[in-house]
Amino acid sequence: MFGLGTLTRIAREVRQDLTAAQERDPAARGIGRAEILLTYPGVHALLAHRVAHALHEAGIPLLPHALANASRTVTGIEIHPAAKVGEALFIDHGAGVVIGETAEIGDNVTLYQGVTLGGTGFARGKRHPTVNDNVVVGSGAKLLGAITVGDCSKVGANSVVIHDVPPNSTVVGNPGHPVKVSGKKPEGPDADWAHLPDPVADAIRSLSSRIRELEAELAEVTGREPQPAAEVRPLRGAGQDPAGG
């Protein structure tokens, strides 16, 4: 039932959400919790969802969806009342975030703007992602289907993830490829999106190198001069920080 215990739990979860915003958003570290509560749409959406979810769990009709719809209109963040959200979720900026009905989010998760935890097909039952504890999902990433993202993983910006992600991995690309970061667990909530591994570029570079070797061998056999090889260049110069102004 929706009683005093439920309200106490919601209040505790909101305090944890405010702490998460202060700890994970550099822009929030110099302002008070009251200002975060009043001005952060991610916090507003979570507060509305926690109330809507409690109403949904209590079996109250109409009101949970009406509250979720009002929250989406105001914040630009859509969270289905049935979605299960853990403690200390931080939705940074938040615009365009969509969290589906059977999605499950663990504790200490960070979502950036444009993230979708979406379903596939029209079958009933579990059809949205499960995101475990301490996961960071970058801007514009799409997690689709009843997949599981393991603890302490990071999903790169604009990745499309349709398969399970092992714990302690970084996922990049479309479709997403899990890549270990130096064989170690990714540290901290803030991903260095500009310097994530790119397995597709690595594969193209390897193919280009192999083609040059084959052309050199063919030139030795035929006696013809090989054509100048195309150079695979990085998009930025060595040592250049693409995140700089």
The pLDDT, as a whole number, for residue 109 is 96
pLDDT reported for residue 56: 95
Q: Would you state the pLDDT for residue 243?
A: 37
Q: What is the pLDDT of residue 198?
A: 63
Q: What is the pLDDT of residue 230?
A: 60
Helix runs in the chain, H state only: 4-24, 33-39, 41-57, 63-75, 199-222
Q: What is the reported pLDDT for 240?
A: 47
Q: Which two tokens stand for residue 5?
A: 């215990």
Residues of the chain predicted below pLDDT 50: 182, 236-245
200-224 pLDDT per residue, tens: 667 777 787 788 888 878 777 887 7
The Cα 137–Cα 152 span in angstroms is: 11
Q: What is the pLDDT of residue 232?
A: 60
- In angstroms, the CA 69 to CA 77 distance is 9
**pLDDT, position 225:** 72
